[in-house]
Amino acid sequence: MISNKITKNQTFTLMTFSKKDVIRAGEALNNDQLLDNAQLLEKTMNVLTYWRDSHVIPLNMAENLLNKFIYRIDKKAFIAKRLKRFESIKRKLKRFDGMQLKNMQDIGGIRVVVENLKHVNAIFKVLANEHCFYNDGKFIKMDNYILNPKNDGYRCLHIVGKFNNKLNEERKIEFQIRTKLQHSWATTLEIVDIFTGQDLKSNDGLYDYKKFFKDVSDQFQIIENLKGFVENDKGQLTKEYLTKVIQSQHLINQCIDIKNFMVRTVGGITIENHLKTYCVTLNDLNTVLTAKNNKDGFILIRLNVQTRKIEHEFFINSEQTLASQRYSQYEQLLSKDEKWIVALLSTNAIGGLKEAYPNYFADSEIFLSYIGLIKIAAVLGSAPKNSKVAS
């Protein structure tokens, strides 16, 4: 049996590479035979390590830009940074014809999660006045998936900015701005991907799961536009939502489908209880990590989705390059073992690891609480036509 451990002395010197090297590495990542060629895989991972590491300082600059104003808009906002994972990069290269690693604009990503849509719009308005988001007077890239959601139901506002690293090389950083409710949807989808081996995030998975998440997204969009949601008045929200749903047979049917999906059993356990189990497992990781008070640095996570065993390694900020190297080493070592998820996470986001990386740590309280409201609507919608929403 091959060990999945890498010892402390297994490091390599971080090299620099040319743009052509980065292009060739992207072509190799798009090659289905890469994992069978150990020499090519090692060379490709060396280039990928360099390329991702060159985005760290621009990523920090993007965070500094947000920190100048964001908490005046939403005191409870939180920010999370990440470098794109090996598997995510491979999938994106395959998904888009002509995509090159050199031109990928979300190797470094920064996520902003706020209370409501009003805050999303306020943050975007400030960022839209910054020159770093423009080339020749036009946005480098801006996608408003809130006004125009993706086919799978994904809702978020994306905007790309440019920042220089220590060698004065320009790197693109993608900002993702979303509400807590939108975030709980994306979080839950990622949790399901991790534990079921699907790729719903890339719109590739079982039809019933895809329909479920699309239906939930539609219902969440209705919910967060209601006055009771904006004013955080649960009583008013419940009355407004139920009144709106029972006026539309289409919305009633969506709610019924959502309710029926959650009570479906897999291996004798409902999907809702499976989801709760997944989240408990990931929360156990958060408990372990926060107990160590590692508040400023990087955590390298290795999660076995079959045994739910979690391994982790902490690096202080000055060990950034070592963390990047170890990240790539584990990705290379475990590249053929689909049981393992590898991720390198920054720990210095406001609110700590649990809030910064809920796709790995969060429980599903927000998501399931609103699913509960949808289930009430399903029951009410199934009742005789003369039933009314309680005043």
Q: Which CATH number covers residue 59?
A: 3.30.460.10
Characterize the bridge pairing of strands 134-135 and 108-114: unpaired
- pLDDT attached to residue 193: 83
Confidence of residue 256 (pLDDT cuts 50, 70, 90): very high
pLDDT higher than threshold 80 for residue 359: no
pLDDT (tens digit, 9 = 90+) per residue, 296-326?
677 788 878 777 777 888 888 788 888 888 9
- SS3 call for 37: coil
344 domain-assigned:
yes
Confidence of residue 375 (pLDDT cuts 50, 70, 90): very high
pLDDT (tens digit, 9 = 90+) per residue, 69-120?
999 999 989 888 888 888 889 889 988 888 999 999 999 999 999 999 999 9
How many DSSP H helices and E strands does the chain contain? 16, 12
Domain containing 221 equals: 19-382
Q: Which residue has the tokens 């009144």?
A: 243
127 domain-assigned:
yes
Phi, psi (deg, nearest 5) at residue 164: -95, 145
274 domain-assigned:
yes
2 domain-assigned:
no
How many structural domains are present in the chain? 1
**CB-based burial, 299-317: b 16+ in 10 Å, e otherwise:** bbbbbebeeeebeebebee
